[in-house]
């Protein structure tokens, strides 16, 4: 593999990681249709060089972490599992705010138990002022609660997720965080300034929905350039992210070994300056 690495907390991770959200059932709720296939995707990911997996105990809920444990425990020394807290699921699969100190403490213990870990390497505090997207509001309480759990030794490093620049600035005053996980992709580049700022500080920026998530990125330019280069539009969207900034870590989600292999192959894809200029027109 020739794609590079980045320091996340005190670990070195390959910039192409894996997001586990697609491993649960439809709507990230309940068990997957094919549990063996989910186990196979995770094992293939690690075998092909993934050493950064993004998850949460609210995927399933619980089920995704249990599948990770079944597939990969005991974990390789260099595997960094990053989880997130701040939400809970309703009985119908709805997503709700669960950011009180008691709920966050419970979530950390749920993650430890279901992943089979004594310490969580990185925990993202998922801001929940907006359940489906960022919204302003203080994140002081949940970030401080997670900082306390870090002091107790349950968490090594803290990240923040679904945050605005104001919330990033607020978190900076409370803790040292090692990553920001926000919605970002070739078609949604609202965090450009934040990415550059974090890069200067050595903080990772981990785009969620790197392929557009539930609404896959679509663009005639992306399709045309991909065809010319002999790759898929999704591969090109990931290659663009790798090229965008050295602090960007990829966590594309897939339930398919074929797609996983396509995503891993992106590390070999070099984009010329001309191609980059063409792709940069996509976000307008
Ligand atoms: N912090 C947050 O609030 C938040 C929110 C959402 C997600 N996340 C994290 O971010 C990760 C990535 O997001 P995501 O999985 O929702 O969205 P994504 O990576 O943008 O896209 C996943 C979708 O793309 C498809 N896909 C993957 N690789 C493909 C390929 N090579 N060709 C064609 N289709 C491909 C997948 O379908 P197949 O299964 O068929 O491959 C799936 O439908 C998640 O796994 C999760 O860990 C965090």
Contact present, 211 and 18 (Cβ < 8 Å): no
Strand partners, 179: 159, 204
Angstrom distance (rounded) from CA 128 to CA 88 = 11
CB 67 within 8 A of CB 38: yes
What residue ranges line ligand 1, CB within 6 angstroms? Answer: 19-22, 54, 84, 126, 161-162, 181, 208-213, 216, 232, 234, 251-256, 259, 262-263
CA 174 to centroid of ligand 1, rounded, Å: 31
| Active-site residue (options: 18, 59, 75, 184) | 59
**pTM of the complete model:** 0.98
State the Cα–Cα distance between residues 35 and 41, nearest whole angstrom: 10
Domain spans of the chain, in order of start: 11-279
CATH architecture group of domain 11-279: Alpha-Beta Barrel (3.20)
Active site residue 59: yes
Q: What is the pLDDT of residue 1?
A: 39
Give me ligand 1 centre to Cα 23, in Å. Answer: 10
258: CB partners within 8 A, 6+ apart: none
Q: Render each residue's pLDDT in the chain as its tens digit; 284 residues.
A: 345 999 999 999 999 999 999 999 999 999 999 999 999 999 999 999 999 999 999 999 999 999 999 999 999 999 999 999 999 999 999 999 999 999 999 999 999 999 999 999 999 999 999 988 999 999 999 999 999 999 999 999 999 999 999 999 999 999 999 999 999 999 999 999 999 999 999 999 999 999 999 999 999 999 999 999 999 999 999 999 999 999 999 999 999 999 999 999 999 999 999 999 999 999 97
Per-residue model confidence (pLDDT) at position 3: 54
CA of 77 relative to ligand 1 center, distance in Å: 25
Buried b (16+ CB within 10 A) or exposed e, 141-178: ebbebbbebbeeebbbbbbbbbbbeebbebbeebbebb
Q: Probe ligand 1: pick from 18, 20, 22, max atoms within 8 Å of CB? A: 22
**Would you state the structure tokens that stand for residue 129, as one six-digit string?**
């002022």
Helix axes 140-151, 101-115, angle to 10 degrees: 50
pLDDT of residue 2: 40
Among the listed residues 186, 187, 190, the one whose alpha carbon sits nearest the alpha carbon of residue 162: 190
Closest C-alpha to ligand 1, atom 16: 213
Q: CA gyration radius for the chain?
A: 18
**What is the atom index within ligand 1 of the atom nearest the CA of 54?**
47
Q: Which two structure tokens, joined as six digits, stand for 198?
A: 């974090």
Nearest ligand 1 atom, CA 217: 20
- Which residue's alpha carbon is nearest to atom 15 within ligand 1? 253
Give CA–CA dist 99/133, Å, rounded. 16
Cα(253) to centroid of ligand 1, in Å? 3
Q: Whose CA is nearest to atom 42 of ligand 1?
A: 254
Ligand 1 centroid to residue 214 C-alpha, Å: 8
């Amino acid at each position: 593999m020739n794609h590079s690495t980045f320091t996340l907390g005190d670990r070195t991770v390959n910039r192409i990681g894996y997001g586990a959200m697609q491993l649960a059932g439809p709507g990230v709720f309940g068990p997957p249709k094919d549990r063996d296939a989910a186990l196979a995707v995770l094992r293939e990911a690690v075998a092909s060089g993934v050493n950064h997996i993004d998850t949460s105990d609210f995927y399933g809920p619980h089920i995704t972490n249990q599948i990770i444990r079944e597939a990969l425990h005991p974990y390789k020394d260099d595997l960094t599992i990053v989880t997130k807290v701040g939400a809970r699921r309703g009985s119908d699969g709805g997503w709700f705010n669960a950011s009180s100190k008691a709920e966050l403490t419970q979530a950390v213990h749920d993650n430890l138990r279901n992943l089979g870990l004594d310490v969580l390497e990185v925990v993202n505090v998922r801001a929940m002022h907006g359940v489906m997207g960022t919204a302003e509001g203080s994140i002081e309480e949940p970030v401080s609660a997670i900082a306390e759990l870090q002091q107790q030794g349950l968490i090594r490093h803290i990240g923040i997720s679904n945050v605005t620049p104001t919330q990033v600035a607020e978190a900076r005053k409370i803790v040292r965080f090692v990553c920001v996980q926000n919605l970002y992709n070739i078609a949604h580049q609202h965090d450009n300034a934040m990415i550059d700022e974090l890069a200067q500080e050595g903080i990772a920026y981990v785009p969620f929905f790197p392929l557009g998530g539930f609404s896959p990125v679509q663009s005639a330019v992306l399709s045309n350039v991909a065809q010319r280069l002999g790759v898929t539009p999704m591969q090109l969207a990931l290659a663009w992210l790798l090229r965008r900034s050295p602090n960007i870590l990829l966590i594309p989600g897939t339930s398919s070994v074929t797609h996983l292999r396509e995503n891993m192959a992106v590390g070999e894809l070099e984009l010329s300056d001309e191609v980059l200029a063409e792709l940069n027109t996509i976000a307008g």
